[in-house]
Amino acid sequence: MDAENTCRRCLSLVGLARVVVLEVEDRPGVPLRVHVELEETPQGCGGCGVLAHVKERRRVELVDLPAFGRPARLVWVKRRFRCPEPTCSVGSWTEEAPEIAHWHTVNDAVLAYGEALVDDDPHRFGTVAALGLDEVLFVRLGRFHAQHFSTSIVDVQRGQLLDVVPGRSGVRPSEWLESQGQAWRDEVRYATLDLSGAYRSVFDRMVPRATQVADPFHVVKLANTKLDECRRRVQNDTLGHRGRKSDPLWRSRPLLTKADKRLDEGGREKLFGLLRAGDPRGDVKTTWHAKEAVRELYAHTDADLALAYVERLAADMADRDQPIEVRSLGRTLKRWRHQIAAWHTAQVTNGPTEAANNLIKRVKRAAFGFTSFRNYRIRALLYAGKPNWSLLSTITPR
């Protein structure tokens, strides 16, 4: 009797007070199967009110959340009722229990235990030597599908998602860092970021002693973006329309973005031939050389030499004879020269932050998107935040 009462109390805790556990199949190599049914209570016909009879029982197998690290299935023995009144038009029906096969039942349990697991464990993450910030799309809302972003806060050395905060401005990340305390912030030696002014200001204010490191991928990506902008501008200036498959500049796109060292002799000859045909003033070719010069920056191993290189490169790009895209790239390199050169000393990147964002996107795809930030945050942290799952049996759900 005590075991039965304990089972009922556990079921009540997760909102399943009407459910009776019939058996549990626990066999090696197959999912754990829990067989349940609803308590037997008199059922009246919804049409005439006459006491219904049980017509049959059938088993419906539902995929449940993993239990104890194993796949789990919930086998619901559902009753089908019939009305014994011959003149009743209702006939038969199947019992329903939204608390069993309902998303909110599972989600409420995930939130109750998940928040306790990620927020109440003071040891989920300790001191962080290298901190990364990056944005990721949270949801599109409203008639015009307005984009709402979130900011991922990541330990880039451990590859651990520390938290997710709303927005992509510096306000919420600053508040989060403030809540960690001064002693924790003082341990941050490196701060990685893409070329975001908002995140740069966060690091300037909250971890001023940390060395900021501009992510190499985003620096090279910016150079490629400027090259693409130049190609599209020249395309319109020379032919008066967007690129078509027969246009030389359109055909040069794959070769332009490929690194020069990856081009064989035939590829390089083809690229320059297309540029001669479609780039009469040489703007695209000049911007391509600028892109390659940015890539060359990361061939250096000496930090001081790298800083001198990027300063000289930015100065050369500022020349009035350069295409407008090259001058724009040069101004950005000048503003970020110390963060760009710092990579040669720190050797840390924002790659783990991008990896955490990819995990978040995987969670979003599995959920077909989120509109509740609370659900979004907890699901992301349970998946990419490295919670201590061994505490699951000891925590108090919220």
Average pLDDT over residues 199-209: 97
Point out the least confidently predicted range of 4-13, 15-24, 222-231. 4-13
Q: Tell me what percent of the residues of the chain surpass a pLDDT of 90.
A: 70
3-class DSSP state of 143? coil
Q: Which two tokens stand for residue 105?
A: 């039942």
Contact yes or no for 21/11 (Cβ under 8 A): yes
- The residues that bridge with 64 in the sheet, in sequence order, are 72
What pLDDT score was predicted for residue 270? 95
| pLDDT above 60: residue 12 | no
Segment holding 154, helix H or strand E: strand 146-155
| pLDDT above 90: residue 143 | no
Average pLDDT over residues 228-252: 94
What pLDDT score was predicted for residue 368? 85
262-218-167 Cα angle (round to 5): 150
| Predicted confidence band of residue 1 (pLDDT cuts 50, 70, 90) | very low
Average pLDDT over residues 393-397: 85
Select the more confidently predicted residue: 60 or 174: 174
Average pLDDT over residues 247-266: 93
The whole-angstrom separation of Cα 378 and Cα 112 is 10
Average pLDDT over residues 331-339: 96
The whole-angstrom separation of Cα 358 and Cα 379 is 13
Select the more confidently predicted residue: 398 or 322: 322
| pLDDT above 80: residue 3 | no
Average pLDDT over residues 218-238: 96
145-162: per-residue pLDDT in tens?
999 999 999 999 999 999
| pLDDT above 60: residue 14 | no
42-84: per-residue pLDDT in tens?
889 988 989 999 999 999 888 776 777 788 888 999 999 999 9
Average pLDDT over residues 306-331: 95
Cα separations (Å) of 207 from 15, 341, 348?
A: 45, 19, 17
179-191: per-residue pLDDT in tens?
999 999 999 999 9
Point out the least confidently predicted range of 3-12, 173-182, 242-251, 380-389. 3-12
127-168-185 Cα angle (round to 5): 20
| pLDDT above 80: residue 6 | no
Contact yes or no for 332/220 (Cβ under 8 A): no
What pLDDT score was predicted for residue 13? 43
| Predicted confidence band of residue 100 (pLDDT cuts 50, 70, 90) | confident
Query: Listing from the earlier edge strand, what are the strands of the sheet with 190-193?
Result: 160-166, 146-155, 130-141, 190-193, 211-214
Residue with tokens 């019992």: 95
Segment holding 105, helix H or strand E: helix 103-119
Average pLDDT, the chain: 91
Contact yes or no for 100/36 (Cβ under 8 A): yes
What pLDDT score was predicted for residue 103? 65
The whole-angstrom separation of Cα 101 and Cα 216 is 48
The whole-angstrom separation of Cα 185 and Cα 199 is 15
Q: What's the pTM value of the predicted model, to 2 decimals?
A: 0.75
Q: Tell me what percent of the residues of the chain surpass a pLDDT of 70.
A: 94
The whole-angstrom separation of Cα 219 and Cα 325 is 14
Query: Residue 37 burial (CB < 10 Å; 0-12/13-18/19+)?
Result: buried
The whole-angstrom separation of Cα 284 and Cα 236 is 13
Cα separations (Å) of 37 from 1, 58, 76, 195?
A: 19, 10, 6, 57
Dmax over CA atoms of the chain, in Å, equals 94
| pLDDT above 90: residue 289 | yes
